[in-house]
């Protein structure tokens, strides 16, 4: 099991995998900045057919990356959706050409706050412009152009990945045959902004953060990032899942110790989640990507009227939510479905019964897999993919 520190400047470019650099071509960002020197790190699986009609773009969540269906070179673990994507799996790489790119602002090879600012020769840090989900998608479209793909067969993603799917469908309606936004929302809620703000404050409270210049100063705000991850991790699970997995069980002891050690399994688990996270993620990327999610409000891009985002769309939509997901509850998916219905879009919607909370979208949920396989099979037939 390899373990690289992705914080160290210049390490992420050394990660294996595909790279696409755009040199002097400038990416127009929503904040008004034209960003030069952009690089995109991505992976592909399967084979693009001659008609270039079988490409599926997978969009990853806040802390995901491009290693969706093969071993992650940093953690040594399987890809984050390897249960879903592969030969014979619901997203069948014997049939589809699957693309996944690290998002703009990320720390796995795509340009982000830990990249070198060409103007200074130093890591951007807080000098990196604040980005949006729209910016992430705009950069992905350059990759799709580069691959010579006119129209994606499908764009699929959960959580922040689902926000990107919605953005794709709204911005490039003619380039998306089918869209699968999973466990997401058309705008980030007040409660979710609040949880993100706690995470950011935890990072910024760490004196090693150095106003974002920790790379240049040789420090590492890992304690703050770890606290941010712990708080976020609770929101990815459900009360029921925590109760079932841990309850009040003690960690390797028969009685409480009357101290501040991790007496309870749930404490030990959370601390572990915090500590492994800091080995694979960059604190500034965490700030920028949570901010992009906070800013996401698709209706606001269309005069405050969500149906307008999907006017005249020919894309086939399949929305999925999970009963115990309290971060992106079913009501959020339903609001999107209502907007799609209002413009008579082709939409199906399934709420999956699960007690696993938001994280259910990453797990082997048979009913969810069945739905996704069925939807993709139907669309593939329509699209003439064998």
Catalytic residues: 159, 325, 358
Between helix 133-146 and helix 160-171 the angle, nearest 10°, is: 70
- Residues 234, 335, 337, 363: which binds its own copies (CB under 8 A)? 234
The answer to the question of residue 242 lying near its own copies (CB under 8 A) is yes
Q: Give the DSSP H or E segment for 235.
A: helix 222-236
Among 79, 90, 224, 301, binds its own copies (CB under 8 A): 224
- Say what the alpha-carbon torsion angle 109, 112, 115, 116 is, to the nearest 10 degrees: 140
For residue 201, the minimal CB distance to its own copies (Å) is: 5
- What's the longest Cα–Cα distance across the chain? 67
**Min CB(36)–its own copies separation in Å:** 18
Binding mask 302-331 for its own copies (x = CB under 8 A): ------------------------x--x--
In the region spanning residues 62 to 101, those forming contacts with its own copies, defined by CB under 8 A, are: none
Q: Under rule CB under 8 A, which residues in 279-298 are in contact with its own copies?
A: 287, 291, 294-295, 297
Closest to its own copies by CB, 10 vs 218, is 218
Tokens representing residue 176 in the block: 């998306």
* Residue 253: C-alpha distances to residues 55, 70, 91, 99, 262 (Å): 52, 37, 43, 46, 10
Instruction: Report in angstroms how near the CB of residue 168 gets to its own copies at its nearest.
Output: 22
The two structure tokens encoding residue 4: 């690289």
Task: Return the closest-CA partner of residue 100 out of 128, 74, 75, 79.
Answer: 79
**272 near its own copies, judged by CB under 8 A:** no
For residue 40, state whether it binds its own copies (rule: CB under 8 A): no
Give the three-class secondary structure for 347.
strand
Q: Which of 197, 217, 353, 381 binds its own copies (CB under 8 A)?
A: 197
CA distance 41 to 145: 15
Applying CB under 8 A, which part among 34-42, 85-93, 170-178, 196-204 lies near its own copies? 196-204
Nearer to its own copies, 69 or 202 (CB): 202
Map the footprint of its own copies across residues 125-144, applying CB under 8 A.
126, 129-130
In total, the chain counts a number of residues equal to 386
Helix, strand, coil percentages (3-state) for the chain, rounded to 5, are 40, 15, 45
* Residues 170, 310 contacting (CB under 8 angstroms): yes
Q: Which residues bind its own copies (CB under 8 A)?
A: 30-32, 126, 129-130, 187-191, 193-195, 197-198, 200-202, 204-207, 223-224, 226-227, 230-231, 234, 237, 239, 242-243, 245-248, 256, 258-260, 262-264, 266-267, 270-271, 274, 287, 291, 294-295, 297, 326, 329
């Amino acid at each position: 099991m390899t373990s690289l520190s992705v914080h160290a400047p210049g390490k992420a470019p050394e990660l294996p995998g595909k790279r696409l650099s755009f040199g002097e071509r400038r990416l127009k960002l929503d904040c008004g900045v034209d960003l030069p020197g952009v690089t995109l790190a991505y992976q592909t699986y399967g084979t693009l057919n001659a008609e270039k009609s079988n490409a599926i773009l997978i969009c990853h969540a806040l802390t995901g990356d491009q290693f969706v269906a093969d071993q992650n070179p940093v953690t040594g673990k399987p890809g984050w959706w390897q249960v879903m994507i592969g030969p014979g799996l619901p997203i069948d790489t014997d049939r589809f050409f699957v693309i996944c790119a690290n998002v703009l602002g990320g720390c796995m090879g795509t340009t982000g706050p830990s990249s070198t600012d060409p103007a200074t020769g130093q890591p951007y840090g807080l000098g990196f412009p604040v980005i949006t989900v729209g910016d992430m998608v705009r950069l992905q479209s350059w990759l799709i152009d580069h691959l010579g793909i006119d129209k994606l067969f499908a764009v699929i993603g959960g959580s922040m990945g689902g926000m990107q799917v919605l953005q794709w469908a709204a911005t490039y309606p003619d380039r998306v045959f089918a869209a699968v936004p999973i466990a997401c929302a058309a705008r980030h809620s007040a409660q979710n902004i609040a949880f993100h703000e706690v995470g950011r404050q935890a990072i910024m409270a760490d004196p090693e953060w150095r106003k974002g210049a920790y790379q240049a100063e040789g420090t590492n705000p890992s304690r703050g990032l770890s606290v941010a991850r712990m708080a976020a991790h609770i929101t990815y699970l459900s009360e029921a899942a925590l109760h079932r997995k841990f309850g009040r069980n003690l960690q390797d002891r028969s009685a409480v110790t009357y101290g501040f050690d991790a007496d309870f399994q749930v404490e030990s688990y959370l601390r572990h989640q915090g500590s492994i996270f800091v080995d694979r993620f960059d604190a500034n990327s965490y700030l920028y990507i949570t901010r992009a999610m906070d800013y996401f409000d698709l209706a606001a891009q269309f005069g405050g009227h969500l149906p307008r985002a999907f006017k005249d769309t020919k894309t086939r939509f399949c929305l999925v939510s999970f009963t115990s997901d309290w971060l992106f509850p079913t009501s959020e998916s339903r609001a999107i479905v209502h907007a799609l219905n209002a413009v008579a879009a082709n939409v199906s919607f399934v709420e999956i019964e699960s007690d696993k909370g938001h994280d259910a979208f990453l797990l082997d949920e048979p009913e969810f897999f069945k739905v996704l396989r069925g939807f993709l099979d139907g669309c593939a037939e329509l699209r003439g993919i064998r």
